[in-house]
Amino acid sequence: MKKFFGKVLVGAVGCMMALGISAFAANEVTINAPVVKDDGTVTISGTVSGDAAAVEATILVIPSGKSLADNIADADIKYINQDTTSDNGAFTFTFKLDPGTDYTVYCGGTDVVKPDEKGVTFTSADTFKIVGQVTLLTNADATKVTATATGKEAVHADKDGKYEILDVANGTYDVVVGRAGYLYKTYSGVEVANEDKNLGTIALVAGDLATSDPAYVNLDDLQALLNAYGKMETEEGYSEVADLNDDKMISVDDLQALLNSFGKYATDYE
């Protein structure tokens, strides 16, 4: 059906061009500016009327530089949708394109086709995002969490522990997520392939005060917390890294959190 439909469109345009006829006078086609997201998802919306609003009304997305009057191959047409439009001729289609390519939008029916006169052309995204979320102890400040991918600058999580590493090209990355006072989590060999990568949600383990072994909650971490035990933020000896729940004092809550994690390694996340 796709090949047949494409040939009908090409034939219609070719005949009209040869005869010098304005083929679209009886039709109104409005295509809004495409909404292109970073993951290459594109939403096209608009309205059609007249012959173009027939049940075969279709959106075509074709690589820029090609014309429907050319003998375009079915494989070159990135998107065909044979669904009907709504009663008032409105349409909304969402689809995904290959990254880094220019496309032009067309709309038409079985016997007419009208390139958008405004020349709606866009480039799909060629970079993507790595996203995820962490959870911490109750009331701990999630904005202290950082996430870093190979070759990218570290980004901070928001208050809900969600982070986004932007402008990530296709490839394989190691991603490190964590904050001071907690065991860092390493995601090895994260593959980004033409779409955003979601690493999901992980609960960070509290109690690693980055002393003798920054990937292991051990006696040195316990001693570092005990050295600051009972101290308020305004007092000498207070340790921000030992304040695991960010309540401005080193208390039994921090001690219990460390003891709950005692003996754990970063590899225990696996």
CA distance 179 to 154: 12
Q: Token digits for 46?
A: 């608009």
User: Per-residue pLDDT tens for 18-60?
Assistant: 222 233 334 566 667 677 666 667 777 777 665 544 434 456 6
Q: Is the pLDDT of residue 136 over 50?
A: yes
Q: Token digits for 6?
A: 């494409």
| Bridge partners of residue 206, in order along the sequence | 182
Residue 185 C-alpha from the chain's centroid: 21
Four-point Cα dihedral 258, 154, 187, 191, nearest 10: 170
Q: How confident is the model at residue 252 (pLDDT cuts 50, 70, 90)?
A: very high
What was the pLDDT predicted at 194? Answer: 78
Domains of the chain: residue spans and CATH: 2-123 (2.60.40.2840), 128-269 (2.60.40.4130)
Phi then psi for residue 224, to 5 deg, are: -65, -40
Packing angle, helices 219-227 and 252-261, rounded to 10? 180
User: Per-residue pLDDT tens for 223-234?
Assistant: 999 999 999 999
What was the pLDDT predicted at 81? Answer: 52
User: Per-residue pLDDT tens for 149-169?
Assistant: 999 999 999 999 999 999 898
What was the pLDDT predicted at 156? Answer: 96
DSSP 157-174: --TTSEEEEEEEPSEEEE
